[in-house]
Structure 1
Amino acid sequence: MPARRKARKRALDVLYEADLRDLPPAQVLVTYLDRIEKPRPDHLDYTINLIEGVAKHLDRIDELIASYAEGWTIDRMPVVDRNLARIAVYELLYVGEIDDPVAISEAVELAKQMSTDDSPRFLNGILGRIAEFATR
Protein backbone atom coordinates (compact mmCIF):
# COMPACT_ATOMS: atom_id res chain seq x y z
CA MET A 1 0.00 0.00 0.00
CA PRO A 2 1.44 3.39 -0.96
CA ALA A 3 2.54 5.63 1.93
CA ARG A 4 -0.09 8.32 1.42
CA ARG A 5 -2.85 5.69 1.27
CA LYS A 6 -1.57 4.32 4.58
CA ALA A 7 -1.64 7.85 5.97
CA ARG A 8 -5.23 8.31 4.78
CA LYS A 9 -6.23 4.97 6.31
CA ARG A 10 -4.71 5.96 9.65
CA ALA A 11 -6.42 9.36 9.48
CA LEU A 12 -9.70 7.56 8.76
CA ASP A 13 -9.17 5.38 11.84
CA VAL A 14 -8.73 8.42 14.09
CA LEU A 15 -11.55 10.46 12.55
CA TYR A 16 -13.87 7.44 12.69
CA GLU A 17 -13.15 6.91 16.38
CA ALA A 18 -13.56 10.61 17.14
CA ASP A 19 -16.86 10.67 15.26
CA LEU A 20 -18.25 7.58 17.00
CA ARG A 21 -17.15 8.67 20.46
CA ASP A 22 -18.11 12.32 19.87
CA LEU A 23 -14.62 13.47 20.84
CA PRO A 24 -12.36 16.10 19.29
CA PRO A 25 -10.09 14.49 16.68
CA ALA A 26 -7.02 16.05 18.36
CA GLN A 27 -7.82 14.21 21.60
CA VAL A 28 -8.21 10.87 19.82
CA LEU A 29 -5.02 11.55 17.85
CA VAL A 30 -2.99 11.88 21.07
CA THR A 31 -4.07 8.47 22.34
CA TYR A 32 -3.66 6.97 18.86
CA LEU A 33 -0.07 8.21 18.63
CA ASP A 34 0.69 6.77 22.08
CA ARG A 35 -0.32 3.31 20.82
CA ILE A 36 2.01 3.36 17.79
CA GLU A 37 5.27 1.54 18.27
CA LYS A 38 8.54 3.28 17.61
CA PRO A 39 10.10 3.93 15.21
CA ARG A 40 7.02 5.61 13.82
CA PRO A 41 6.35 5.25 10.08
CA ASP A 42 7.33 8.13 7.81
CA HIS A 43 3.79 8.60 6.55
CA LEU A 44 2.59 9.48 10.06
CA ASP A 45 3.35 13.18 9.44
CA TYR A 46 0.83 13.22 6.59
CA THR A 47 -1.69 11.39 8.80
CA ILE A 48 -1.35 14.09 11.46
CA ASN A 49 -1.64 16.82 8.80
CA LEU A 50 -4.88 15.27 7.51
CA ILE A 51 -6.45 14.90 10.96
CA GLU A 52 -5.51 18.39 12.10
CA GLY A 53 -6.59 19.90 8.78
CA VAL A 54 -9.97 18.17 8.78
CA ALA A 55 -10.53 19.22 12.40
CA LYS A 56 -9.55 22.83 11.68
CA HIS A 57 -11.83 23.15 8.64
CA LEU A 58 -14.57 20.71 9.73
CA ASP A 59 -17.45 23.18 9.57
CA ARG A 60 -16.63 24.28 6.01
CA ILE A 61 -15.93 20.69 4.89
CA ASP A 62 -19.21 19.41 6.32
CA GLU A 63 -21.10 22.34 4.81
CA LEU A 64 -19.79 21.43 1.35
CA ILE A 65 -20.47 17.72 1.77
CA ALA A 66 -24.02 18.42 2.96
CA SER A 67 -24.74 20.78 0.09
CA TYR A 68 -23.45 18.35 -2.58
CA ALA A 69 -24.81 15.11 -1.09
CA GLU A 70 -28.14 15.16 -2.84
CA GLY A 71 -30.81 13.64 -0.63
CA TRP A 72 -28.40 12.84 2.20
CA THR A 73 -27.60 14.65 5.41
CA ILE A 74 -24.19 14.34 7.02
CA ASP A 75 -25.71 12.41 9.94
CA ARG A 76 -27.38 9.85 7.66
CA MET A 77 -24.15 8.95 5.87
CA PRO A 78 -22.26 5.86 7.01
CA VAL A 79 -19.49 6.96 9.40
CA VAL A 80 -16.77 5.58 7.13
CA ASP A 81 -18.13 7.42 4.08
CA ARG A 82 -18.56 10.67 5.99
CA ASN A 83 -14.96 10.61 7.16
CA LEU A 84 -13.52 9.51 3.83
CA ALA A 85 -15.37 12.43 2.26
CA ARG A 86 -13.96 14.78 4.91
CA ILE A 87 -10.40 13.66 4.20
CA ALA A 88 -10.86 13.98 0.44
CA VAL A 89 -12.54 17.39 0.66
CA TYR A 90 -9.72 18.61 2.87
CA GLU A 91 -7.23 17.45 0.23
CA LEU A 92 -9.29 18.99 -2.59
CA LEU A 93 -9.48 22.39 -0.92
CA TYR A 94 -6.36 22.74 1.20
CA VAL A 95 -3.58 20.40 -0.02
CA GLY A 96 -2.12 21.88 -3.18
CA GLU A 97 0.31 19.07 -3.98
CA ILE A 98 -2.46 16.46 -4.25
CA ASP A 99 -4.24 16.47 -7.62
CA ASP A 100 -8.04 16.39 -7.43
CA PRO A 101 -8.39 13.04 -9.26
CA VAL A 102 -5.91 11.48 -6.82
CA ALA A 103 -7.81 12.70 -3.75
CA ILE A 104 -11.05 11.36 -5.21
CA SER A 105 -9.67 8.01 -6.35
CA GLU A 106 -7.98 7.41 -3.00
CA ALA A 107 -11.28 7.97 -1.16
CA VAL A 108 -13.05 5.66 -3.61
CA GLU A 109 -10.39 2.94 -3.20
CA LEU A 110 -10.61 3.06 0.59
CA ALA A 111 -14.40 2.95 0.35
CA LYS A 112 -14.14 -0.21 -1.77
CA GLN A 113 -12.11 -1.85 0.99
CA MET A 114 -13.92 -0.52 4.04
CA SER A 115 -17.50 0.46 3.30
CA THR A 116 -20.65 -0.62 1.49
CA ASP A 117 -20.96 -1.67 -2.14
CA ASP A 118 -22.67 1.63 -2.95
CA SER A 119 -20.09 3.81 -1.19
CA PRO A 120 -17.47 4.11 -3.94
CA ARG A 121 -20.00 5.44 -6.47
CA PHE A 122 -21.63 7.67 -3.84
CA LEU A 123 -18.30 9.22 -2.82
CA ASN A 124 -17.11 9.57 -6.40
CA GLY A 125 -20.24 11.57 -7.24
CA ILE A 126 -20.09 13.90 -4.25
CA LEU A 127 -16.36 14.48 -4.50
CA GLY A 128 -16.49 15.05 -8.24
CA ARG A 129 -19.10 17.77 -7.77
CA ILE A 130 -17.10 19.37 -4.95
CA ALA A 131 -13.93 19.28 -7.07
CA GLU A 132 -15.81 21.06 -9.87
CA PHE A 133 -16.94 23.70 -7.40
CA ALA A 134 -13.42 24.10 -5.99
CA THR A 135 -11.89 24.77 -9.42
CA ARG A 136 -14.31 27.58 -10.28
Structure 2
Amino acid sequence: MSERRQDYKRHGSRYKARMRAVDILFEAESRDVDPVAIIDDRHKLARDTNPIVAPVAEYTETIINGVAVELDTLDVFLAEHIAETWTLGRLPSVDRAILRVASWEMIYNTDVPVTTAIVEAVEIASEYSGDKSSAYINATLDAMASKVETLRERAANPEAVLAEASESLDDAPVAPWDDSDEDFEAVDAAEVFEAEETVEVSEVAEDSEVSKVSEEKADES
Protein backbone atom coordinates (compact mmCIF):
# COMPACT_ATOMS: atom_id res chain seq x y z
CA MET A 1 0.00 0.00 0.00
CA SER A 2 1.38 3.39 -0.96
CA GLU A 3 2.15 6.15 1.52
CA ARG A 4 -0.45 8.38 -0.15
CA ARG A 5 -3.12 5.70 0.25
CA GLN A 6 -2.21 5.22 3.90
CA ASP A 7 -2.56 8.97 4.53
CA TYR A 8 -5.93 8.91 2.82
CA LYS A 9 -7.11 5.98 4.96
CA ARG A 10 -6.35 7.85 8.18
CA HIS A 11 -9.10 10.35 7.43
CA GLY A 12 -12.72 9.80 8.35
CA SER A 13 -15.88 9.68 6.28
CA ARG A 14 -16.34 13.47 6.38
CA TYR A 15 -12.95 14.01 4.76
CA LYS A 16 -13.80 11.55 1.99
CA ALA A 17 -17.17 13.27 1.53
CA ARG A 18 -15.41 16.62 1.13
CA MET A 19 -12.99 15.17 -1.40
CA ARG A 20 -15.83 13.77 -3.47
CA ALA A 21 -17.67 17.10 -3.28
CA VAL A 22 -14.55 18.76 -4.68
CA ASP A 23 -14.46 16.14 -7.46
CA ILE A 24 -18.09 16.78 -8.38
CA LEU A 25 -17.75 20.58 -8.31
CA PHE A 26 -14.65 20.33 -10.49
CA GLU A 27 -16.46 18.05 -12.94
CA ALA A 28 -19.50 20.33 -13.02
CA GLU A 29 -17.40 23.37 -13.86
CA SER A 30 -15.36 21.48 -16.46
CA ARG A 31 -18.52 20.22 -18.18
CA ASP A 32 -20.53 23.40 -17.52
CA VAL A 33 -23.36 21.49 -15.88
CA ASP A 34 -25.29 21.76 -12.62
CA PRO A 35 -23.47 19.85 -9.84
CA VAL A 36 -26.85 18.83 -8.42
CA ALA A 37 -27.60 17.11 -11.74
CA ILE A 38 -24.34 15.15 -11.41
CA ILE A 39 -25.45 13.99 -7.95
CA ASP A 40 -28.74 12.79 -9.44
CA ASP A 41 -26.85 10.90 -12.16
CA ARG A 42 -24.60 9.28 -9.57
CA HIS A 43 -27.61 8.11 -7.59
CA LYS A 44 -29.12 6.49 -10.69
CA LEU A 45 -25.86 4.80 -11.67
CA ALA A 46 -25.33 3.53 -8.12
CA ARG A 47 -28.78 1.87 -8.18
CA ASP A 48 -28.03 -0.15 -11.33
CA THR A 49 -27.81 -3.93 -11.12
CA ASN A 50 -24.10 -3.69 -11.81
CA PRO A 51 -23.25 -0.22 -10.48
CA ILE A 52 -20.26 1.47 -12.07
CA VAL A 53 -19.98 4.25 -9.47
CA ALA A 54 -20.01 4.28 -5.68
CA PRO A 55 -23.06 5.72 -3.91
CA VAL A 56 -22.79 9.40 -3.06
CA ALA A 57 -22.38 10.00 0.66
CA GLU A 58 -25.11 12.00 2.36
CA TYR A 59 -22.66 14.69 3.47
CA THR A 60 -21.26 15.04 -0.05
CA GLU A 61 -24.78 15.70 -1.30
CA THR A 62 -25.35 18.20 1.52
CA ILE A 63 -22.22 20.13 0.53
CA ILE A 64 -23.08 20.12 -3.19
CA ASN A 65 -26.65 21.30 -2.59
CA GLY A 66 -25.42 24.01 -0.24
CA VAL A 67 -22.69 25.30 -2.54
CA ALA A 68 -25.06 25.26 -5.52
CA VAL A 69 -27.60 27.41 -3.68
CA GLU A 70 -25.10 29.84 -2.12
CA LEU A 71 -22.51 29.93 -4.93
CA ASP A 72 -22.80 33.64 -5.79
CA THR A 73 -22.54 34.73 -2.17
CA LEU A 74 -19.62 32.38 -1.50
CA ASP A 75 -17.75 33.71 -4.52
CA VAL A 76 -18.23 37.29 -3.38
CA PHE A 77 -16.83 36.44 0.06
CA LEU A 78 -13.91 34.53 -1.44
CA ALA A 79 -13.11 37.35 -3.84
CA GLU A 80 -13.07 39.78 -0.90
CA HIS A 81 -10.50 37.75 1.02
CA ILE A 82 -8.22 36.29 -1.60
CA ALA A 83 -4.86 38.04 -1.93
CA GLU A 84 -4.65 40.92 -4.41
CA THR A 85 -2.15 39.11 -6.63
CA TRP A 86 -4.65 36.30 -7.23
CA THR A 87 -8.17 36.21 -8.59
CA LEU A 88 -10.85 33.61 -7.92
CA GLY A 89 -12.06 33.49 -11.50
CA ARG A 90 -8.61 32.65 -12.86
CA LEU A 91 -7.48 30.11 -10.27
CA PRO A 92 -7.28 26.43 -11.23
CA SER A 93 -10.77 24.92 -11.13
CA VAL A 94 -9.86 22.41 -8.45
CA ASP A 95 -8.70 25.20 -6.14
CA ARG A 96 -11.97 27.06 -6.63
CA ALA A 97 -13.83 23.86 -5.74
CA ILE A 98 -11.78 23.39 -2.56
CA LEU A 99 -12.35 27.01 -1.50
CA ARG A 100 -16.08 26.78 -2.14
CA VAL A 101 -16.47 23.58 -0.13
CA ALA A 102 -14.51 24.94 2.84
CA SER A 103 -16.11 28.39 2.83
CA TRP A 104 -19.59 26.84 2.66
CA GLU A 105 -18.78 24.72 5.72
CA MET A 106 -17.36 27.70 7.60
CA ILE A 107 -20.30 29.98 6.94
CA TYR A 108 -23.34 27.74 6.54
CA ASN A 109 -22.59 24.59 8.54
CA THR A 110 -21.94 25.64 12.10
CA ASP A 111 -21.74 21.97 13.18
CA VAL A 112 -18.28 21.85 11.60
CA PRO A 113 -15.53 23.65 13.56
CA VAL A 114 -13.99 26.41 11.45
CA THR A 115 -10.51 25.06 12.11
CA THR A 116 -11.52 21.63 10.83
CA ALA A 117 -12.88 23.08 7.59
CA ILE A 118 -9.61 24.95 7.00
CA VAL A 119 -7.25 22.11 7.92
CA GLU A 120 -9.04 19.58 5.75
CA ALA A 121 -9.26 22.02 2.82
CA VAL A 122 -5.49 22.51 2.98
CA GLU A 123 -4.96 18.75 3.12
CA ILE A 124 -7.21 18.22 0.10
CA ALA A 125 -5.25 20.92 -1.73
CA SER A 126 -2.01 19.06 -0.94
CA GLU A 127 -3.59 15.93 -2.48
CA TYR A 128 -4.97 17.60 -5.60
CA SER A 129 -2.80 20.67 -6.14
CA GLY A 130 0.63 21.98 -5.19
CA ASP A 131 2.38 23.86 -2.40
CA LYS A 132 1.34 27.25 -3.77
CA SER A 133 -2.30 26.22 -3.79
CA SER A 134 -2.17 24.99 -0.20
CA ALA A 135 -0.56 28.26 0.90
CA TYR A 136 -3.04 30.68 -0.64
CA ILE A 137 -6.03 28.47 0.21
CA ASN A 138 -4.89 28.48 3.82
CA ALA A 139 -4.34 32.27 3.79
CA THR A 140 -7.73 32.97 2.20
CA LEU A 141 -9.67 30.75 4.61
CA ASP A 142 -7.75 32.10 7.62
CA ALA A 143 -8.72 35.62 6.59
CA MET A 144 -12.36 34.56 6.37
CA ALA A 145 -12.17 32.76 9.71
CA SER A 146 -11.07 35.95 11.44
CA LYS A 147 -14.44 37.51 10.61
CA VAL A 148 -16.62 34.43 10.21
CA GLU A 149 -19.41 35.75 12.45
CA THR A 150 -19.72 38.85 10.31
CA LEU A 151 -19.77 36.73 7.16
CA ARG A 152 -22.52 34.56 8.62
CA GLU A 153 -24.60 37.64 9.38
CA ARG A 154 -24.10 38.98 5.87
CA ALA A 155 -24.90 35.59 4.35
CA ALA A 156 -28.36 35.81 5.88
CA ASN A 157 -29.09 38.57 3.35
CA PRO A 158 -27.57 37.37 0.05
CA GLU A 159 -29.30 40.07 -2.00
CA ALA A 160 -27.45 42.75 -0.05
CA VAL A 161 -24.15 40.87 -0.45
CA LEU A 162 -24.54 40.75 -4.22
CA ALA A 163 -25.61 44.39 -4.36
CA GLU A 164 -22.48 45.40 -2.47
CA ALA A 165 -20.22 43.54 -4.88
CA SER A 166 -19.02 46.51 -6.90
CA GLU A 167 -16.57 44.69 -9.16
CA SER A 168 -16.74 41.57 -11.30
CA LEU A 169 -14.89 38.53 -9.96
CA ASP A 170 -12.89 38.41 -13.21
CA ASP A 171 -11.54 41.96 -13.06
CA ALA A 172 -8.50 41.19 -10.91
CA PRO A 173 -5.14 40.33 -12.49
CA VAL A 174 -4.30 36.81 -13.54
CA ALA A 175 -2.65 34.60 -10.93
CA PRO A 176 1.11 34.86 -11.55
CA TRP A 177 1.60 31.07 -11.88
CA ASP A 178 -1.40 30.57 -14.20
CA ASP A 179 0.33 30.08 -17.54
CA SER A 180 -2.33 27.75 -18.93
CA ASP A 181 -4.91 30.37 -19.83
CA GLU A 182 -5.09 30.99 -23.57
CA ASP A 183 -6.47 34.51 -23.25
CA PHE A 184 -3.62 35.48 -20.93
CA GLU A 185 -1.06 34.06 -23.36
CA ALA A 186 -2.77 35.81 -26.25
CA VAL A 187 -2.54 39.16 -24.47
CA ASP A 188 1.15 38.62 -23.84
CA ALA A 189 1.69 37.68 -27.49
CA ALA A 190 -0.22 40.74 -28.63
CA GLU A 191 1.88 42.98 -26.40
CA VAL A 192 5.08 41.45 -27.76
CA PHE A 193 3.86 41.85 -31.34
CA GLU A 194 2.89 45.47 -30.69
CA ALA A 195 6.30 46.16 -29.15
CA GLU A 196 8.09 44.55 -32.10
CA GLU A 197 5.93 46.50 -34.53
CA THR A 198 6.81 49.74 -32.74
CA VAL A 199 10.52 48.93 -32.98
CA GLU A 200 10.19 48.20 -36.70
CA VAL A 201 8.35 51.47 -37.34
CA SER A 202 10.99 53.36 -35.36
CA GLU A 203 13.76 51.70 -37.36
CA VAL A 204 12.05 52.58 -40.63
CA ALA A 205 11.64 56.18 -39.53
CA GLU A 206 15.30 56.30 -38.45
CA ASP A 207 16.44 54.86 -41.80
CA SER A 208 14.31 57.45 -43.57
CA GLU A 209 15.93 60.29 -41.62
CA VAL A 210 19.42 58.93 -42.42
CA SER A 211 18.56 58.73 -46.12
CA LYS A 212 17.18 62.26 -46.09
CA VAL A 213 20.35 63.63 -44.48
CA SER A 214 22.50 61.79 -47.01
CA GLU A 215 20.51 63.21 -49.91
CA GLU A 216 20.78 66.75 -48.53
CA LYS A 217 24.59 66.37 -48.23
CA ALA A 218 24.77 65.05 -51.77
CA ASP A 219 22.82 68.07 -53.08
CA GLU A 220 25.13 70.50 -51.22
CA SER A 221 28.20 68.93 -52.77
Question: TM-score higher than 0.5 here?
Answer: yes
The one-letter amino acid of 2:104's match is Y
Deviation track 1:12-56 (CA, whole Å, cap 9, x = no partner) reads 111000111111111122223333349x66x70100000000000
Deviation at 1:80, TM superposition (A): 0.9
The one-letter amino acid of 1:88's match is A
Deviation at 1:117, TM superposition (A): 2.0
Residue 125 of structure 1 corresponds to 139
CA distance in 2, matches of 1:85, 1:16: 11
Structure whose CA Rg is larger: 2
Distance change (3 Å), C-alpha of 1:35 and 1:13: farther
2:18 to 2, 8, 12: 8
Residue 26 of structure 1 corresponds to 36
How many residues matched? 134
Structure 1 segments unaligned to the other structure (5+ residues): none
1:92 to 93, 100, 106: 106
Which stretches of structure 1, 4 residues or longer, exceed 2 Å deviation after superposition?
32-38
Report the TM-score when normalising by structure 1. Answer: 0.91
Report the TM-score when normalising by structure 2. Answer: 0.57
CA distance in 2, matches of 1:76, 1:69: 12
The one-letter amino acid of 1:32's match is R
Between stretches 6-15 and 28-37, larger displacement belongs to 28-37
Structure 2 segments unaligned to the other structure (5+ residues): 1-10, 151-221
Report 1 or 2 for greater relative contact order, CA contacts < 8 Å, sequence distance ≥ 6. Answer: 1
Matched, 1:67 2:56: no
CA distance in 1, matches of 2:122, 2:45: 28
